[in-house]
Amino acid sequence: MNFDMLKNGQSEAFVLLKKCEEKKAKNGSVYLDMIIGDKDGEMSAKLWDFSGGAVFESDSVVKVRGYVEQYGGKDQFRVVQIRPAIGSDEYNISDLVPASQMGGEQLFEMIKARVEKFENESLRALVLSIIEDKKEKLVYYPAALRLHHAMLGGLMFHTMSMLRMAEEICKIYTNINRELLFSGIILHDVAKTWELETSKTGLAKGYTAEGELIGHLVKGAMYVNDKAKELGIEGKEVTLLEHMILSHHGVPEYGSPVRPMFLEAEILSTLDALDATIYEINDATSKVEAGSFTDRMWALDNRKLYNHGLGNTKHSVNFSEDGE
């Protein structure tokens, strides 16, 4: 974790308060048992001799001041002062929670610029209208509650990663309908802005009731259907887009009511799974030393993964077309 050192020997920082519970010590005194963190890690924290009052809210940003000490061979922060962050405080939330390497706003504009070049008027109108409707959330939403791209701006990062892969694939297989494939990629997870509930940090904290009952595949297809009616768009593009969204999880076991039934739908489903898998493998292997195995990863077929040490395991993507 990153702290600023003060002249009196104390350390201070804005941190994410991940847990805060009021407890009693053996001598009967009350203390706050906390977990604080930033994008680089987390540690246990204690505020001893707590005099009472409101317990700080979990998943909120606070400013702490105190001492980094050792307890049981691990760092622990002894809090001397703590207060909630206020509007005038200068801190960057992306320093405190996992965030994409490129801002969501910038990624959104990169995606939008591609759509504006579409020659198919129906696809251009449908996609632009839907993403503009959802822009406020799209620019910061994570792509998942846990696992792949569960970070600030993760939804746009995941989408842009898939788009860049699709652009390269279309150079090889020239019979692919680029604009249909790109449209499906851009809209396949757009309903996660409705399915997931976020905390004050912008990270997902759970699913909405409607998200649990309906899910982003069905809702995403509904978005397309409703928007097409609103814009007066008819034709096969509407049906094809709805199918791509409904089938992008591939099989019923993963939530798709239908399997992909044409080329662009199959490519969308494959790229979605591939990008998620690349992220999860990078994330898991980056947490172990070179030459070591991870624990079994239930989300990756309960496999152990090996960090071979021959490259950088930290997840990084180059979105430039020339690869430079």
Under the phi-then-psi rule, with left for phi > 0, alpha for psi from -120 to 50, and beta for the rest, what region is 186? alpha
Q: What mean pLDDT is reported for the chain? A: 90
In this predicted structure, the answer to whether residue 223 has a pLDDT above a threshold of 80 is yes
Long-range CB contact pairs, 297-302, < 8 A, 24+: 299/147
pTM: 0.81
Burial string for 242-269 (b: 16+ CB within 10 Å, else e) reads bbbbbbbbbeeeeebeeebeeebbbbbb
Q: Residues of CATH 1.10.3210 domain(s) within the chain?
A: 97-300
pLDDT given for residue 127 in this prediction? 98
In this predicted structure, the answer to whether residue 99 has a pLDDT above a threshold of 90 is no
- Structure tokens that stand for 63 in this block: 């400013």
pLDDT given for residue 169 in this prediction? 97
pLDDT given for residue 321 in this prediction? 66
Average pLDDT for 36-44: 86
The span from the first CA to the last CA of the chain, in angstroms, equals 32
Q: Per-residue DSSP letters for 254-296?
A: GT-SS---SHHHHHHHHHHHHHHHHHHHHHHHTTS-TT-BPPP
pLDDT confidence of 323, banded at 50, 70, 90?
Answer: very low
In this predicted structure, the answer to whether residue 19 has a pLDDT above a threshold of 80 is yes
In this predicted structure, the answer to whether residue 254 has a pLDDT above a threshold of 70 is yes
In this predicted structure, the answer to whether residue 79 has a pLDDT above a threshold of 80 is yes
Question: Which SS3 state, helix, strand or coil, does residue 56 take?
Answer: coil
- Structure tokens that stand for 157 in this block: 């990062």
From the list 92, 124, 195, 110, the residue with the least C-alpha distance to 156 is: 110
**Per-residue pLDDT tens for 255-290?**
899 999 999 999 999 999 999 999 889 888 988 899
Least confident of 40-54, 128-142, 227-241, 248-262: 40-54
Contacts of 168 (CB under 8 A, 6+ apart): none
Q: Which fold has domain 97-300?
A: Hypothetical protein af1432 (1.10.3210)
**Per-residue pLDDT tens for 160-185?**
999 999 999 999 999 999 999 999 99
Q: How many CA atoms lie within 13 A of 29 on its CB side?
A: 10
Q: Residues of CATH 2.40.50.140 domain(s) within the chain?
A: 4-93
CATH class of 4-93: mainly beta
In this predicted structure, the answer to whether residue 108 has a pLDDT above a threshold of 70 is yes
**Per-residue pLDDT tens for 284-315?**
898 889 999 999 988 888 999 999 988 776 66
Spatial separation of the C-alpha atoms in residues 137 and 152, rounded to whole Å:
11
Under the phi-then-psi rule, with left for phi > 0, alpha for psi from -120 to 50, and beta for the rest, what region is 255? left
pLDDT given for residue 95 in this prediction? 82
In this predicted structure, the answer to whether residue 40 has a pLDDT above a threshold of 90 is no
- Structure tokens that stand for 194 in this block: 């409705």
Strand segments, DSSP code E, in 189-268 are: 196-198, 204-207
